[in-house]
Structure 1
Amino acid sequence: MQPQVTKKMMKPFHEDCEYFWSPSVRWEQQDDEIRIELLSYSGTVSGLFPTFYYLTQKGIKIPDLISRFPQANPDQVADFVRDLIANRILVHTLLTPQEIYFPQEHLISHSYSSETFLDPAQYEAFRQEKLSRSLPQTTQTNVPLAESEFPEVITARRTWRQFEEKKKVPFDVFSSLISVFKQYRREDEIRYNYATAGGLYPIDLYVYIKDHRVENMKAGLYYYNPIENVLQMVSNTCVITEDAHYSMNKEIFQSSAFSIYLIYNADVTMPKYGGLGYFYAGIDSGIMVQLLTHVAEMHKAGICSIGDMNFRRIQKYFKLSPQQVLIHSIEVGLQPQ
């Protein structure tokens, strides 16, 4: 007789979705314990493996998963499943870039301790070493290149970690920064100001504007529609604070006038490229940041790319589909005088 899976048990789950064991998460069995990365489980859970892993590796709906273990207490199995979902071990949406790339560090070895990246002097020594690297595989043949002159919008480029806070960003400057990503339609041709894999443009642009920081703009979260070149309000009650950022980036966010979020929409490119569509989206995002940098320098605005943030704190405001995932964020403001 199969265990009854009640609505109360199913409340945190999306019943119609298949959940998968995250390919970024490792597990092992040690005596009577199941160790999943830094988490440990014993008792009922230990008797579920390896069958539990094989079922979720292929993808399965949660009611069906719980029903596959009639010998176990269904409430205990449901609690275990809830915990795995909360810790992003069982997933039904795209993995974040952080989740995808986390396992890669297991594949290389290095002699640097964590102190290297916490102590300013040690980190500067590390930085100088890496920026002075050369490749031993080359031959002794060197070909000097001709010196070239570049315009100031290229040579003046830098990352800005502090912005002008006493002046609003003029609306025409703000418009130029965002509308550089607009779509052009001419007869049968559709084009943008930047390149993308397959000409598909899978990056959805969201903009969070702070109160009284951009001329003629109300605070809130907007979606940029590149077809009509308009900002469409997503949430006027959304309040994003520095709590969504890690310690080294809090001051940058506090100083900026608005934030740009590059959201990858897998429904656009994965049908053609499969998983490589995600990889190509990272390249697309880099091209977009460079284009924005160029326009920002033209208007004496500054930008700062944010490598990582606690997006889960604010994700609910964006109303994303399971096919959408944050791939990059940027803080923007006027260059300080």
Structure 2
Amino acid sequence: MRDFAHTPVALPQLSDMLSALMQNPAPDGPRFQYASAGGLYPVQTYLYVKQGRIDGIAPGSYYLHPRERTLIRLDSDATLDGDSYDYFVNRPTYERAAFAVFFVADMSAITPIYGAASRDMVLLETGQMAQHLTSRAGEVGLGLCGIGNLEKNRVADLFDLGAAHQLIYSMLGGVAPGPMAPASDAYNDDTEEFDI
């Protein structure tokens, strides 16, 4: 999907969509909805929110903490310039989007075990994450567009990433054209953390 309604994303929609990436309790121990090589889960999720595009959440950069089930604010002054995207293909999509999702691999968490195969392992994991997120987005009235190319240095600055971090994949999102699906609300104004 490359077109999004200008309607702001409702916080419950965002919460329900991101729940696809959360760690869930289980009788025999916490579980994710997707697999990871060696159970390492080295792929991290970051979010950039545009000004006024998600009701109830301030603009800026965020880290999605899957085990704590929270969206943690990193920098309220962070800005993602449209020039980070290809001018003719992806920039128009960015201009219409409400938010951007970034899947970043912490290679230091997997390379000691998988060595040269580590990149392949994080690609498989990221693919599963993106698929789960896309499926859930459609269920709650949101749309996502996968982005194959953008200025990686700008993303590193946006989230203060280290040398061991590699941007694997990115998606742009917003309200899908048409009626919105209902979702459940969860937001903690005191801690600036988003409870999923």
Q: TM-score range, shorter-chain basis?
A: 0.7 to 0.9
Answer whether contact 2:142 2:174 (CA < 8 A) is retained: yes
Distance 1:208 1:229 in 2: 17
Distance 2:29 2:155 in 1: 37
Kindly indicate which of the two structures has a greater share of residues assigned to helix: 1
Cα deviations across residues 152-180 of structure 1 (Å, max 9, x unaligned)?
xxxxxxxx101011x11111110011122
Distance 1:300 1:218 in 2: 21
The range that moved more, 215-224 or 196-205, is: 196-205
In the alignment, is residue 272 of structure 1 matched against residue 82 of structure 2? Answer: no
Q: Look up the SS of the partner of 2:51 in the other structure.
A: coil
Distance 1:243 1:275 in 2: 33
The range that moved more, 307-316 or 323-332, is: 307-316
Answer whether contact 2:99 2:173 (CA < 8 A) is retained: yes
Cα deviations across residues 248-276 of structure 1 (Å, max 9, x unaligned)?
10000001110000001112211110121
Aligned to 2:73: 233
Q: How many residues align?
A: 177
In the alignment, is residue 286 of structure 1 matched against residue 127 of structure 2? Answer: yes
Aligned to 2:142: 301
Q: Look up the SS of the partner of 2:157 in the other structure.
A: helix
What letter is aligned with 1:198?
Answer: G
Distance 1:310 1:321 in 2: 16
Structure 1 residue 188 displacement after superposition: 5.2
Structure 1 residue 186 displacement after superposition: 4.1
What letter is aligned with 1:245?
Answer: Y
Aligned to 2:53: 213
Note closer, same or farther for the CA distance 1:250–1:297 as it changes in structure 2 (3 Å cut).
same
Distance 2:168 2:23 in 1: 21
2:39 corresponds to which of 177, 196, 199: 199
Aligned to 2:189: none
Matching of residues 1-337 of structure 1 within 5 Å: 160-165=1-6, 167-186=7-26, 189-247=29-87, 248-337=89-178
Instruction: Report the TM-score, using the length of structure 2 for normalisation.
Output: 0.86
What letter is aligned with 1:257?
Answer: A
Q: Look up the SS of the partner of 2:61 in the other structure.
A: strand
Identity over the aligned pairs, expressed in percent? 29
Answer whether contact 2:144 2:171 (CA < 8 A) is retained: yes
Distance 2:168 2:50 in 1: 21
**Tell me, which stretches of 5 or more residues in structure 1 are unaligned?**
1-159
Aligned to 2:190: none
Q: Look up the SS of the partner of 2:21 in the other structure.
A: coil
Cα deviations across residues 273-312 of structure 1 (Å, max 9, x unaligned)?
0121111101111111111111011112111000010121
Structure 1 residue 211 displacement after superposition: 0.7
Distance 2:66 2:155 in 1: 23
Aligned to 2:194: none
Aligned to 1:112: none
CA RMSD of aligned residues (A): 1.3
Answer whether contact 2:13 2:141 (CA < 8 A) is retained: no
Q: Look up the SS of the partner of 2:93 in the other structure.
A: helix
Cα deviations across residues 115-134 of structure 1 (Å, max 9, x unaligned)?
xxxxxxxxxxxxxxxxxxxx
Structure 1 residue 236 displacement after superposition: 0.8
- Higher Cα Rg: structure 1 or 2? 1
Q: Look up the SS of the partner of 1:333 in the other structure.
A: strand
Aligned to 1:118: none
Structure 1 residue 244 displacement after superposition: 0.6
